[in-house]
Every structure is written in structure tokens, then in C-alpha cells.
């Protein structure tokens, strides 16, 4: 069974706004174009909000991605792939369910 998006996430998905583009870049493993377009240096890193929206999109079944967030091995794959592109808060948020 798929989950439903909350109204804010649904609006972002329908309009393909910046939040959606960031979440999609996480799911597709294509973060470098996001870095090039971001004007604020602190936003060049993947934030917990990006991961949360990416997971919500994947849970609805509307977007597929190269990563699985539902097990520790999948989370480790995300950490290895993105490495220093993940903010410290995002790294902590990813492993929080497993500690």
C-alpha cells in the first residue's frame, strides 16, 4: 500500500518547485546540478528536509530512485554515495532509526 503526501508536499510535487527538484536529485543521485544552481552556500549540502521529502515521494510510488531508505544497508549506500554532500544533520537523521 502506498502512502499519501501531505498538502505541502503534494503542491511541491505538482508544481515541481525547488523542494521537489532537490528531493528528486537525491533519489536519482544527481546532486551536482543542484549545487551549481544554489546561491546560498549552506544549502548546497543535502539537508534532512530533502531526505524526508525524497522518502515521502518514494513511499507514494510516484517517483522511484536508486536508493532504499527502509533498511540500514540502504542508508549506508546513501551515505557512501553522497559522502560530504550530506550535512551533519542529514547524516544524523539518516541513522537515527538504527541507533
48 in any annotated domain:
yes
First to last CA, the chain: 27
- Domain range for 50 is 7-98
Q: Please count the other Cβ atoms lying within 10 Å of the Cβ belonging to residue 45.
A: 20
Q: Specify the pTM.
A: 0.89
Domain count, the chain: 1
Query: What's the pLDDT tens digit per position in 39-79?
Result: 776 678 999 999 999 999 999 988 889 999 999 999 999 99
Quote the pLDDT of residue 99: 86
Query: What's the pLDDT tens digit per position in 6-49?
Result: 999 999 999 999 999 999 999 999 998 887 777 776 678 999 99
2 in any annotated domain:
no
Q: Quickly state the pLDDT bin for 1 (edges 50, 70, 90).
A: very low
43 in any annotated domain:
yes
1 in any annotated domain:
no
Amino acid at each position: 500500500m502506498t502512502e499519501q503526501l501531505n498538502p505541502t508536499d503534494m503542491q511541491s510535487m505538482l508544481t515541481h518547485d525547488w523542494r521537489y527538484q532537490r528531493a528528486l536529485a537525491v533519489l536519482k543521485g544527481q546532486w551536482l546540478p543542484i549545487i551549481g544552481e544554489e546561491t546560498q552556500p549552506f544549502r548546497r549540502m543535502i539537508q534532512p528536509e530533502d531526505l524526508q521529502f525524497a522518502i515521502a515521494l518514494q513511499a507514494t510510488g510516484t517517483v522511484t530512485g536508486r536508493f532504499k531508505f527502509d533498511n540500514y544497508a540502504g542508508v549506508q549506500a546513501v551515505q557512501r554515495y553522497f559522502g560530504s554532500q550530506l550535512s551533519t544533520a542529514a547524516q544524523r537523521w539518516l541513522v537515527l532509526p538504527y541507533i
